[in-house]
Amino acid sequence: MKNPLAVAGVPSTDLVAVPIAVVSHVRRPNFPVFDVRGAVLSPGNRTVRDTEMVYILADGHADLLDTLRQHLTQLVAAPSLPELHRAWTLHFVLHHEVEQLVASVRESEPPLGLPVALEALTVFLAKTGRAPQLLLQIIEDDPATLATVALHTAIHVLILAQATGVRRVEQLSALAFGAVFADVGVPRGDFARCSTSSRASRS
């Protein structure tokens, strides 16, 4: 995300927007957090009850992802976090896990964090009333890629499975895992052409 804030004396720095409630819940992340004026926030300046967005430098993107991965189960289940921010966290981690899967599709092992993230997705959908709408809205705001389509597919599969009476977390997680793999072998060039023509036909 581009933002014209001057951070650490560097104008027009690339920044990543993060819900303040999420970084507050983590307490002590390994990266600086800035408010909309570019001021560095300490843990005492933040509260999980806040609903605004804060920013981290793009250089801290990998650290943010690792932090959210480590705390994903707690973040998704935390009742003190707004539902939208829990959905944002889940989407952020899942999107990167699926991108990693697509990048390493020829390897024998999937990303280790993907099964954990899909189980968190299953629990979130089962326990959060607006979860499907929130997650699908976030995904639809992303550019169409293999990762976003895989997440879209997984969520719809879980919704259908729950509607037909599947309730066990391990069964739902297995279905989500299979759904993620549904399009993972599509050549990127073919996917890009299909995505472009599909969007053109809708406009």
Residue 18 has pLDDT above 70, yes or no: yes
Task: Over range 55-59, report the average pLDDT.
Answer: 86
Q: Mind listing the pLDDT tens digit for each residue in 75-94?
A: 999 888 889 999 999 999 99
To 5 degrees, how large is the angle CA 5–CA 8–CA 13?
Answer: 40
For residue 16, what are the β-bridge partners? 56
Torsion of CA 41, 45, 51, 57, to 10 degrees: 10
Closest CA to 146 of 183, 101, 94: 183
Residue 4 has pLDDT above 50, yes or no: yes
Burial class (CB in 10 A: 0-12, 13-18, 19+), 153: middle
**Better pLDDT: 117 or 45:** 117
Mean pLDDT, the chain, integer: 80
What are the sequence ranges of the domains in the chain? 1-64, 82-202
Q: Mind listing the pLDDT tens digit for each residue in 131-182?
A: 999 999 999 888 888 888 889 999 999 999 999 999 899 999 999 999 988 8
pTM of the model: 0.82
